[in-house]
Amino acid sequence: MSIEERVRRVLAEAVAAEPPLRGAPLDHALRRRGRRPVLVGAVAMALVLAAVVALAAVRGRPQQPPAGPTPTTTPATAPTTTASSPAVATGGWRTYTDAAHNLRFRYPPDWVLRRRNQEATVTLAPREHARRMLAWPPPFAVTVTAGGSYYVGEAPEPGMTAGRLPGGQAYLRWESEIDLNTGLPGLTTTTAPGAARRARVAGYSIDWGRDCKGVKPYRCGPHGVLVNIQATDPALWQRHLAAAEAIVRSARPVTPTRPSHGDRSRPACRPNQWRVIWSEEYGFAGPQRLFLGGGVRYLGGGPCHLRTRLELLVERDGRQLPLPGNPATRTLEGDLPEDAITREDGSLVMRGGPLFWSFIWDEWCNKGLEGPTLRLSAPNGQRLRIGDPAPAATPSPAFRACQDRGRPSRLAPWPPA
């Protein structure tokens, strides 16, 4: 099965479309090259309909719906105002509670909420658009999924921003416009001038901390909540976006969770207990962004807490290239063995977690940067040679060619601070 087919399958499972998604807009947003495949679990970005495509996506194991209380919706009793732009008065809003997946949020009383055919996924829409809220594309809809894997996904779309909800949960947010005729972000059809149909989409991937709710025991660990906001009409986008953002800001865990960074009371991991892994793959996001990612293997020696800093250096013939952000550093923090990459049936499995590392290199084709070598270093003495990037054999519309576009090159860790 090709990567594109696997991505389509995971996207279809993630949004549980009714009917299934047609022309998933992210299929061509990112291409991946490499010499050895790595199996990636249902990472947080798999739900996104307008930002990025996960580099490779197959589920580590199937998940069965857990036993637990049925999600409930109740009227709100205390009027409040949620900060938004513009401010939205939330007095009288209803409360949706899914205790099995540790999620609670509020929504307007004149909106309709429907559970999807995927566990822990609901879609909301203004009542006048309820008839088509589960169609693709909907006039306006908000889809919320709880119980996903770690909120930091694999594929960084240019323009993503980081922030925190009023409750303190960290999130990544992205926004894009999609041509519904081609299913590609930011592109319009050329076959029928004036016939392009466009959709506006925004997404949140939110850090929900560590717990075991709604998942198999082997997935106890850091989880995320995914939110997708869609509109096919610019007027509807302007009319309902503030309410949709207020829904996101109202989200809270039903019960407290442990921090995603792990248990800092554990003994610190010794240098011989862990090893940095690169899967010998890299990808392209947007027209000129190189993406590198990997994880950490656990080598044994007892449970421990790892906090370490990785450094990515771009050099040529042993000399550091004059590149802004070079070298780039990224801090990892998590628990071993829980957050480590595992090997199952001879393949590496990355389900997403705080010990997943990633870097981006924007405008890597600039003149003067030819023939580079990338080296990843870790404080335990490891030094991995990654090699030089190469353009995709069959460039996608989002990645047309490797060329110097006259824009500044930059090396940086992912996600943004």
pLDDT of residue 15: 37
Is 78 exposed, middle or buried, given 0-12, 13-18 or 19+ CB atoms closer than 10 A?
Answer: exposed
Separation between Cα atoms, residue 249 and residue 170, nearest integer Å: 11
312 and 349 in a single domain? The answer is: yes
Q: What is the 8-class DSSP label of residue 54?
A: -
pLDDT of residue 78: 40
* 371 residue type, one letter: G
Domain that holds residue 332: 271-413
Mean pLDDT calculated for residue range 32-56: 33
153 and 289 in a single domain? The answer is: no
Cα three-residue angle 102-144-59, rounded to 5 degrees:
80
232 and 276 in a single domain? The answer is: no
Kindly report the number of other CB atoms within 10 A of residue 395's CB atom. Answer: 15
136 and 229 in a single domain? The answer is: yes
317 and 402 in a single domain? The answer is: yes
pLDDT of residue 42: 28
Higher-pLDDT residue of 293, 66:
293
Instruction: Give a yes or no: residue 381 inside a domain.
Output: yes
Q: Quote the number of domains for the chain.
A: 3
- What are the pLDDT digits (tens) for 189-202? 333 444 446 788 99
221 and 313 in a single domain? The answer is: no
Residues 6 or more apart whose Cβ sits within 8 Å of residue 96: 71, 72, 73, 103, 104, 105, 106, 107, 113, 122
- Give me the residues paired with residue 125 across strands: 112
275 and 173 in a single domain? The answer is: no
Kindly report the CATH number assigned to the domain that includes residue 321.
Answer: 2.60.40
82 and 227 in a single domain? The answer is: yes
- What are the pLDDT digits (tens) for 196-223? 467 889 999 999 999 887 665 556 788 8
Cα 17 versus chain centre, distance: 19
Kindly report the CATH number assigned to the domain that includes residue 121.
Answer: 3.40.1000
Instruction: Give a yes or no: residue 164 inside a domain.
Output: yes
Separation between Cα atoms, residue 198 and residue 350, nearest integer Å: 34
Instruction: Give a yes or no: residue 52 inside a domain.
Output: no
39 and 107 in a single domain? The answer is: no
Higher-pLDDT residue of 326, 49:
326
242 and 347 in a single domain? The answer is: no
Give the Å distances, CA to CA, from 68 to 45, 118, 147, 272: 26, 15, 14, 41
Mean pLDDT calculated for residue range 151-164: 80
Give the Å distances, CA to CA, from 394 to 16, 31, 382, 397, 399: 30, 9, 34, 10, 9
Mean pLDDT calculated for residue range 374-394: 81
State the pLDDT confidence band at 188, using cuts at 50, 70 and 90: very low
Which residue in 203, 172, 150 sits closest to 42, CA to CA?
150
Instruction: Give a yes or no: residue 162 inside a domain.
Output: yes
129 and 186 in a single domain? The answer is: yes
24 and 104 in a single domain? The answer is: no
Last residue of a domain, one of 216, 249, 282: 249
Look up the pTM and report it: 0.77
